[in-house]
Every structure is written in structure tokens, then in C-alpha cells.
Structure 1
Amino acid sequence: MSIKTAKAPPDGGRLELGRTIPSLLDEAVRSRPNPRAFNQRDGRGGWRTWSTADLAREAEALALGLRHAGLERGDRVALFTHSDMSFVVADMAALIAGLVVVPVYLTHTERAIRHILAESGSRAVLVSDRPLLERMAGLAADLEGVRLLGVSDDGALAGFEAGPAWAGRRVASYAALEAEGAELRAREPDRVDRYKRELEATGLATIIYTSGTTGTPKGVMLSHQNLTSNAIASITSLPRFRPGPDETVLSFLPLSHIFARTLQYANMWYGSSVHYGTPESVRHDLTEVRPTFMAAVPRVLEKSWERMQAVGDELTGLKRSLYRRALRFAQGYDVTAPRGGLAGVERRFLDRLVFAKWREALGGRLNMIIVGGAALRAELVNVLGAAGIEVLQGFGLTETSPVMTFNRPGRNRPGTVGEPIVGTEVGVSPEGEILARGPHVMLGYFERPEETAAAIDEDGWFHTGDLGRLDDDGYLSVTGRLKYLFKLSTGKYVMPQPLTDRLEADALVDTAIVVGSGQKYCTALVFLSHDALLERYGRIDASVLGEPRLEAELKRAIAVANEDMPHWSTVKHAAVVTDQLTMEDGSVTPKLSVRREAVVQRYQHVLDALYGQAAAPAGALFVTLD
């Protein structure tokens, strides 16, 4: 098999093997101590702060407490927590103790949570607060393997009754477990060091259950070295990201997901100052925390861009004219070819009057945004680049710890997901599938040897299931999912991802699904954005589908999506609905990925109507391009 390959560029970061995750914290305590390393809201309008040494002390005490409570090396511990210090402390404690961490999405269905706890054989579950404690006490009541339920909030146990099913099992606070650990340490001062010496870099550190767009969640097994090598290689690829406390990081993505978690290890090792927020608090946190760095998913940037455009619509007179001029300039900007001369003068002029205000809305100090998790429009990279904010898109999967590639400062190519990180070899097979091998590739799928063998071939290549291409400079572009490629009845193949990305770039469209397998032409199922509908029409129910202006706007959006596409790969008809896809109805995963097959099955009657195979149902607008 002929595979086109690429490796990291020169000066592409540092490769370190043989490291355990606790060793990163130990190094930070010794070499990059930060008195304000970790920060989360205290519930009283302020922030509670942990130093690097505070985390080490609490995690080591909790590690001793967990082992004292009866957990043994290699036992699995589930974390059902918010993405704050209740996760960070518990995660590091379990790893120091030689336990295997099993993070659980708070948004998983009850069925999925029970499956994860049962299949992983988790012997303990650690939670953040009283609501999660009550929820987990019910979910794990009949799972006899779970022997310990721990809670971070000291006050959560006041008046709490776990119920008769928990008789003979233990419910305790982190504080109680840490106190027991401190007593044990006083008697055996070298016990923590012994635990750390027993750790193996290639040993299992975590099992992360991918939510999956189809089927039951499956556990991805990652070693200490998988995660540490990826964290170190990624952070050292950013020459302008400074070690020590001067970098202020806003962390709001779920730590149960590999993207935020690996960045957490990287920032901890570098001694950065991390503030934990939530997706709902981002706008406020940006202006209060004033970060220099953050990681985000594309939707966060898309909403910011939509707000920028909306601000301009509300202005009048000279301010409106100036704002429109700035928007036009930003939309025509290219980060790969910054312009000098008169264009440079105009940029400086607009920067003082408009772009500086954009930066101020993001805190005023934000230099760099790392983006992953989904496709990012090149337009957004260029727009924010015009305003002096560097947006760097990357690509990876849970199975690759996660980073495989990303764009570097000074080497940023919008529309691509960048170059490989050091130590990683990325390839594209003759069929167009993206492959990877290196120290970041998972150990395998938990208790699924056949699926592991199917995913990692005899040459060590991990088959991602994604389609892409490598250019001659080693930049990777992701073009879609292998399983979503379909063939029309005419024999032509269609990759729907470019069409869906273009449709979803329109503010009116929340989700789009393009279909056509076995048919003469492509059609689309379009789910409208409730935010956009409220802003433009003041309502979100199906009556809005009767608005003449809405149909005209949707025709324009589809026409834009079809531009420059092969004629067989264009959308001819679309069915438009106001329904929302949710995790509750099984349409969306906890990572907010759409379960395409489930949605297609649910709306098959609508799709049949698009092809004239059924009567048009009520509650849908059918749009045909002229």
C-alpha cells in the first residue's frame, strides 16, 4: 500500500518519552512553581486559588486516602465531575495512586453511564457536588462493584442518605479521604514516592469512552506516555507561549474530553495560570479573566463572529459605515500573506478604531486560540487574524491522545489542520483515509481486541476513518468521514462534508445533513438555528416556515453552498424544519456530534418526500433551487 506521509516541521516541538503524568506535576513544582496556577469561582463572586504545590499536596493526600479506602493498583475510578478542580485533584490523585481514571460525561444518558461503570469495572466514583452525588447514588445503586462514592464539596453530605442499596459501601468527602491519607503519610512518609516509582510510562492511565455517532460507547485505553508525550510535544510547538505564570489560560471545555484534558496536563507542566469556567460563562469570563490563551471549538468562534456582525447592524451613521468597512477588510484578509503599503496603513487605522474593540470584548490580551473538535471555516481564522488574534486549528481523536496535527504561529494555513506534531507520522492511504502512528496512538479499545486489530494495522498505522489529503508541504486537510461517502444512482460519489460545512456556515442553519445514496441527486435536511430565528422573526415554531423572506434566504444559503461543487454533488432540494437535535432524543452525542444515521432514520419520511416517494409532511418547508 502506497501511503503519502508527513512528519513535524523543523523546530516543531519537543519529543519526550518515558514520562508519567504525575512526573509532570513534580517537575512543575520544582522548576515552574506558580502560586496562582489553578483558579475556579468560589460561589461568592470571587475566585479560589491553588498553587502548583497545593495541587500536589491535595492530590497526594487523596491518593493515599483512596488506597487506604481499599482501592488497589490498577483499579478503575470513574470521575463524574464538573470541569474544575474537583476533576483536576481527583484525576491526579488517582493517577498517583496507580489507579485507572474513567471520565464520564455529565451529558451521557443514564444507560450510557451505567454501561461505562459496569464494563470498566469501576470500583469508585468521584463526583463534584450534591446534585451529582444524588444522581450517581441512584445510577450506581445496583452496581455492586462500585464500593466507594466520593464527593468534592464538603457540605454535600449534610443530611444525605444514600439509601439501603449502599449498605456496606462507603460514601465520603474528598476532605475525609485526604485526612486519612495525611495520617497514613505521617506513619509512612515514603508511601507516595513508592506509588510513583511503581508507575510505568507505558502503563494504562485512563479509559475514555468515546460517545460515538453510532452504537454503544467504547473505551479508548491511553497510557501515561500517550498523554505526556502529546502534551509536551503540543505545548512546546508554540514558541510564543511562555513557560511560567505569565500565560493566563481560560479553560471551559469539558475535562472529561481528551482535548481539554491533555491541554490541562500541558498547562500544569508549563506552570501556566489556569482559570476554569463553563461554556455558558465564557463571555463574562473573557472580560474578567483577560486570558492570553484558550482552547475552543468552532461553534464558540462562530457565535462570536455572528455577534460581531450583529453589532454592526445596530450602529448608525458614521459608526456603522466604519464598522462595515472593518468587516469588509477583515473578510478579505489573508493571514498567509499580510499586506503592507496602503493596506497595512488601513489595517492600523481600523485597528485603532474597530479591531481594538474586538480584542477588548475578548479580554484585551488574547493572543492565541487553539481550535479543535470540528471543522473551522477559514474565514474565521482570517477575520480574527486581521484583528491580531491568532487562531490555530488542529486535528486529532481520542485514540491519538488527541493531537495529530495543528497549525503553528507563523506557519498558519487556514482551511487546513496544519502539520504533524513531533514524533507523529501522518499518512493518507490510496483510498484517502487519514492514518497516524507514533507514541500518541492508543493502547487499544478496552476489552475489544477485534476492534483494536481492525483500527491498528500490522505496520502500526491507526486508521482514523476520516478522509483527507496532504499537500506537498505536509499540511493536512480533512475532507470528511469515510463512512459518510455515498454513491448516487448515476455512479458518481459524493462526499457530503464540504456541503454541510458550507450550509452550517450560514447563521440561519444550525445543522445540515446531505443525503442521496442510491438516488439521482443530492438533497439536504436542514435544521434551523433558534437564535437566528428569534433575532430575525421573533419566533421559533413551525409557523415561521411560512415567512416568504425565510425561503429566499435559504435559497441563497444553498446556492452559496453549491458554488464551485461538481454538478452531481450539489443540493437540488432541501427540507427545512425548526426541530432541535438533542442528546435527550439520541440525535446528538455528549461531544455535540450529530448521530447522522439516527437522524436520517427519524426523518426518513421527510427525505422520502424530497424524492417524491411520499406525501410532503406538515411542519417542514420544502425548498427547490431554480
Structure 2
Amino acid sequence: MGERIYTAPPDTGTPVLGKTLPDVLYEALARYENPAFLNQPAGPGRWTPISLRDFAEQAEALALGLHAMGLERGAHVAFYMESDAHFCLADMACLIGGLIDVPIYLTHAPESIHYVIEHAEARALVVSNRALLERVAPLLRDLPGVQFVVVADATGLDTDRVEGRPLYTFAQLLEAGRQRRAADPEAIARLRAQIRPGDLATIIYTSGTTGRPKGVMLSHENISFNALTSFSGIKQYRPGPDGEVALSFLPLTHVFARTLFYGYLYYATSVYFTTPDALRDALRQVRPTTFATVPRVLEKIYGALVERAAAMPGLKGRIFRWALDLARRYELGREPRGLYRLQLAVADRLVYRKWREAMGGRIAFIIAGGAALSAELANIFAAAGIPILQGYGLTETSPVITYNRPELNRAGTVGVPIPGVEVKIAEDGEILTRGPHVMLGYYKDPERTREVIDEEGWFHTGDIGYFTEEGFLVITDRKKDLFKLSTGKYVMPQPLEQRLTADPLVEQALVVGPGYKFTAALIFPDEEALRRLARRLGLDANQPLEKLVREPKILEVYQQIVDRANEGMDPWATIKRFVLVPERLSIEEGTLTPTLKVRRSALYKKYEAQIRALYEGAEAEAQEATTPES
């Protein structure tokens, strides 16, 4: 019997094929008008609206403006931009003009930025503002292929050249494009007629946890299929200006936020842009009905709730903790009954309603991706009337492969396949997928492409997982992250790391042990939460972090966190030793990816001494770790 191929269950969406990304815009225009389609930040608590029709007009003018400056169909345009309305305008301009855009993470190191622009053979560079221009300008000295630079917001600029290249503003491109359109009213129609669904739309360089970034080539249909098919599975989705209101704060350089944007565009959803730092205020001001996030943001929200519960005195504190305990017992997919159902209703009136109000009071669903979300968090938020739809995918798959639907949602899983997509589990547990969502290949790297897409069209994700009896996909780890102890036992680090980081006292964690006799962990504490804990324990909370992490009372609390993470794990996989590292990982220094995953190779190198110290003089623990399976 061959490997089972999993597909979408009945009535979970409709495959949408054969569309270019400009088609998405023009079909939305034919159906809707939204005077506040995109909302650009204009200061604290303020946004400037751009109507759907103005968005289309400006994108068309920018497309013609880029051509007027010398770019031809097929040219590559690098973006070094904030994730806002300007990015969306520049992107749609390139798509209409038959240009291929190449977004670059703002957190990339200069050498990575240089590599992407050079490797992608970009002929133009678009930046958001003066600050980003000043940051990237020195790199242009060694990038002769870049013919000109465009700046979206020219505030504070008093030059028309940068490193010997012409510097144009959005305003100049818009004027040039409008003049060209006036002289040739059919110019846009001709450009649109040349675009095919299978044409290359964008090259997205994966952040990766190791090595040079790879340029993922995605076609118009890769992305349009993925966006529109995924959205079709949310039956409750309300289109148009009176429908859903989305808050967008994830980087549009990443395919997750980008594909979501095309879905919002197709349904003319009002989108408000903000940043992770301003999220708390934006939730109250915009009162969105939906937003997309990475699990770390939800873990922070949950951590704040737990801390609040611990600090609340008297009757209020007891009620809050009671409601939190009730939420922890909730199980998605199982209807609450009897007394428990009544208790939840009471808790909702007293506590959960306030949680929803803190998030604006109108959340219909949250979309989560980019990393694993703990089952406990999914259940807790669902109990409080805040459904989280966790999904799974990669840049190479445009990105969605599977996701949980509002009426088909299971905690601890990443849902069921989207229509038109096939998924199967290889003999070694690797997740494979095939369909219109799979990339065209890696740019200028056919050998790497052949390594991940086999002759039958199956893309090898590099993730390990399995399907439940109900047909929901569960991710257990990255294939390359699995490691073998010197005893011969294999350890999956991600489940343990996920359990550790679910605690508000843990910012990040790295489970280690390749070649050693037992499993250990580096734990990077959340400094603010740690200092609050110190105050509750009667310690000097203002002492240097290096001293605080060695306090016996602090270590005792973290040992309890480790003990909870170890529960139910195979004996050889449990964490025997740990060390608190008084440092914060960051994207800028290269220890985190832009989606906040740890870069294992970088951490192993940076903290080699701490890892080695965990295993020195640990014969007793090593002996325990080699205990045979029962």
C-alpha cells in the first residue's frame, strides 16, 4: 500500500486558479469601493486613508513611471521598505508593469543586503524614507547594476542623486506615469495583456537559519491561488468597506503577510498598518476584527495575563485565576457541557469579556503562522471567545499548505490542507506537498531546486510531522534540527523549546545535546518578567541581570518551568541541566530569524563555552539519561 495523500475535506474552500495578481486588484475594483482601503500611519493614533480606486490609480501611474525611467518588462526591482501602504503601492506597480520585485528584510546585515541586491541583479532600488536611504546608500558604491533609486517619502531630502545614481521620489514617478498615460491611454491595458498567471512575480530571499539566503521564485498564480483559495475557506469572512477590519504589523517582506494582503485586496478589506511596538495601542484604536501574527506575540499577551493574575490581590485575583484555570481546561473541537459550560459563561461575563476588550472588542479570528503555537494557548484563547486559526507553510509554498478553519479547528495542529493542495508524509516522517502553491524554483540555483522538488513534483519541506485520525496535520520538528545523543537516542528540540517559551519568564530557549549523553538547555529569560518575579520573591530586582540569574530562588522557579516542560517527554529527551543566559537574542545580531526563530548554528557557535560547561562533571545525569526505554 502506497503513502496516503491528504487533501482538503469537503466544503473547506474552493481552488482559485488562473489569475494574475493585477487580476486580484481589478476584480476587487469591479465589485467594491472602499474609501479607506489602506490606512497609512500618520502619527500616534492617526492614519491617512487611501481608497481602493486611488490605490489602483497610483499603482498604475507608478508602473508607467518606472518604465519611463528606463526599466523594461522582466527587470528586477529591490525593495528596502517599511511594511506599509507605500510597500503595497510599489509592489502592485511592479506587478502591473511586469517587473519582478525583490523585498529585503530591514533587519538584514549590510553584507546580506548587498548579497541579495547583487544576486538578484536588481536594476532599481525602492526605499521608504530618508532614514532607510541613508542606511543602504553606502552599499550602492559596489552595486553598479542599480541604475536608479526611488524614495517613497521624500521628507527631509534635498538631493536628486545618491552615490552617483539618479534619485526619484514617488511624486516624480506618479507625475511621469500620469503624463505617459495621458499621451498613451492604452498603455496600462497593453501591460496587463502581457502578464500571464505563470509569470515570475517576485523573488523572496528566505531568511533561513543557516547559510546564504535562497531566492525563492514565486509566480503570479503561486500567490493568487494561495491567497484566494485560503480565504475561500473562511465562510464567515465579510467583504467590502463594511466587512472585516484588518490590522497589519508583520513584515511584508515575508510571504505570510504579503499573501494575506492579496486576500485583503480581493475582498476590499480595510487594512490599518502599524508596528509590533505600537500594537497594544493600535488594537484599542482600530478595533480590528482580524489580524495575523506569529505565536510569540500571542505568548507575550498570554504572559501578561498570567502575570496579572499572579499580582491581583483579594477576590478579583481569585476570580481572575479561576477563569484562567477554566480556560486551560478548554478543548477545541469538544463542546463544553453541563456545569463546565455554565462556569465558562460566568467567567466570560466576569473576565474573558475584558480580555477581548483589551484587543479592541471586535476580534472575529486571529491568523497565526511562522512558528508553532502551543495547544494550551490555542485552547485558552478559544475559551475566551478569541479563535486562533493556526496554519503552516513555507516561503517555497506561497506559503499556505494547511490551516485550521473557524468551524474545523484543533489545538496543537496546523489544520487541514487547502483545496487543490496535496500533502503526504514520507517514510522518514518528512512532510511533502504538491500543487499550484509550490514555487518555480530557487533563483539561479537549479541544483538546490532539484534537491527539494522531486521528479513527481513533490516539494520536500524539511519538516517532520504526522496527520491525526481526523486528518489534521501536526508538526513535530525540523528534520535538520533533530539531533542524536551519544547514546544513539534521537531528540526533537522544538517541542521542549515551545513548552519553555510558553512561560512568560522565558524569552527564548535552545535545547542542546548533539553528541552528548543527555539533553540540556540554554534559557534566555524575559528581563522585565524576571525583575517583576524578583520583587515578588523579596530580592533586589535592580541588581545586574548577570547576578539575578544566579539567585537560588530564581533558579528554583526556572527549575519548575523546566520540570513542567519535561512532563510526558521520553526519558532520554528530558532536560537534565539548564543555564540562564542573561542576554537577549535579536534579529540584528543574527541569532534570530526575521520570523523570530532561533538560528541554531549561530547560537551553538556563540554560546559554545556555556554549552560545554553544562556537560562538565555531569556523569550522574549522563547515567540517568542512558536508562533503557521502559
How many residues of Structure 1 are paired with residues of Structure 2 in the alignment? 612
Q: Which residue of 1 aligns with 2:167?
A: 171
Structure 1 residues 495 and 315: CA distance shift in structure 2, 3 A: closer
- CA–CA separation in structure 2 for the residues paired with 1:296 and 1:44: 21
- CA–CA separation in structure 2 for the residues paired with 1:45 and 1:120: 38
Q: Which residue of 2 aligns with 1:547?
A: 551
> Residue 203 of structure 2 is aligned with which of 194, 203, 207?
207
Q: Which residue of 1 aligns with 2:605?
A: 601
TM-score normalised by structure 2 residue count? 0.95
Give structure 1 regions of 4+ aligned residues with deviation exceeding 6 angstroms. none
Q: Which residue of 2 aligns with 1:619?
A: none
Instruction: Give the superposition deviation at 1:584.
Output: 3.4
Q: Which residue of 2 aligns with 1:617?
A: none
Q: Does residue 1:287 correspond to 2:284, yes or no?
A: yes
- Mapping of residues 63-462 of structure 1, within 5 Å: 63-157=63-157, 159-160=158-159, 162=161, 165-166=163-164, 169-245=165-241, 246-462=243-459
Q: Which residue of 2 aligns with 1:530?
A: 527
- CA–CA separation in structure 2 for the residues paired with 1:555 and 1:417: 30
- CA–CA separation in structure 1 for the residues paired with 2:245 and 2:57: 23
Q: Which residue of 2 aligns with 1:621?
A: none
The one-letter code of the counterpart of 1:541 is: L
- CA–CA separation in structure 2 for the residues paired with 1:574 and 1:534: 20
- CA–CA separation in structure 1 for the residues paired with 2:155 and 2:610: 51
- CA–CA separation in structure 2 for the residues paired with 1:335 and 1:471: 14
- CA–CA separation in structure 2 for the residues paired with 1:349 and 1:471: 33
The one-letter code of the counterpart of 1:518 is: G
Q: Which residue of 2 aligns with 1:618?
A: none
CA displacement, residues 524-577 of structure 1 (integer Å, 9 cap, x when unaligned): 122222222232233452010231211111111111111111111111111221
Instruction: Give the superposition deviation at 1:507.
Output: 2.0
Structure 1 residues 408 and 44: CA distance shift in structure 2, 3 A: closer
Tell me if structure 2 keeps the 8 A contact 1:526–1:575. yes
Instruction: Give the superposition deviation at 1:161.
Output: 6.6
Instruction: Give the superposition deviation at 1:381.
Output: 1.1
Structure 1 residues 493 and 2: CA distance shift in structure 2, 3 A: farther
Name the SS of the counterpart of 1:171 in structure 2: strand
- CA–CA separation in structure 1 for the residues paired with 2:433 and 2:51: 37
The one-letter code of the counterpart of 1:33 is: E
Worse overlay, 484-493 or 103-112: 484-493
- CA–CA separation in structure 2 for the residues paired with 1:44 and 1:338: 42
- CA–CA separation in structure 1 for the residues paired with 2:554 and 2:617: 26
The one-letter code of the counterpart of 2:53 is: A
The one-letter code of the counterpart of 1:43 is: G
Q: Which residue of 1 aligns with 2:21?
A: 21
- CA–CA separation in structure 1 for the residues paired with 2:174 and 2:140: 23
Instruction: Give the superposition deviation at 1:316.
Output: 2.3
Q: Does residue 1:517 correspond to 2:517, yes or no?
A: no
Name the SS of the counterpart of 1:13 in structure 2: coil
Q: Which runs of 5+ in 2 are unaligned?
A: 535-540, 619-623, 626-630
- CA–CA separation in structure 2 for the residues paired with 1:318 and 1:472: 43
Name the SS of the counterpart of 1:140 in structure 2: helix
The one-letter code of the counterpart of 1:494 is: V
Tell me if structure 2 keeps the 8 A contact 1:4–1:470. no
Name the SS of the counterpart of 1:546 in structure 2: coil
Instruction: Give the superposition deviation at 1:451.
Output: 0.1
CA displacement, residues 406-427 of structure 1 (integer Å, 9 cap, x when unaligned): 0011111000000000111111
Overall identity of the aligned pairs, in %: 48
Structure 1 residues 610 and 154: CA distance shift in structure 2, 3 A: closer
Tell me if structure 2 keeps the 8 A contact 1:86–1:127. no
Worse overlay, 210-219 or 545-554: 545-554
- CA–CA separation in structure 2 for the residues paired with 1:363 and 1:461: 42
CA displacement, residues 298-324 of structure 1 (integer Å, 9 cap, x when unaligned): 011111111112222333222112111
Give me the CA root mean square deviation.
1.6
- CA–CA separation in structure 2 for the residues paired with 1:32 and 1:473: 38
- Mapping of residues 580-599 of structure 1, within 5 Å: 580-599=584-603
Worse overlay, 589-598 or 426-435: 589-598
Instruction: Give the superposition deviation at 1:44.
Output: 6.9
Name the SS of the counterpart of 2:549 in structure 1: helix
Q: Which runs of 5+ in 1 are unaligned?
A: 615-623
Instruction: Give the superposition deviation at 1:378.
Output: 0.9
> Residue 578 of structure 1 is aligned with which of 579, 582, 585?
582
Name the SS of the counterpart of 2:431 in structure 1: strand
- CA–CA separation in structure 1 for the residues paired with 2:450 and 2:561: 43
Tell me if structure 2 keeps the 8 A contact 1:137–1:162. no
- CA–CA separation in structure 2 for the residues paired with 1:12 and 1:543: 54
Q: Does residue 1:491 correspond to 2:488, yes or no?
A: yes
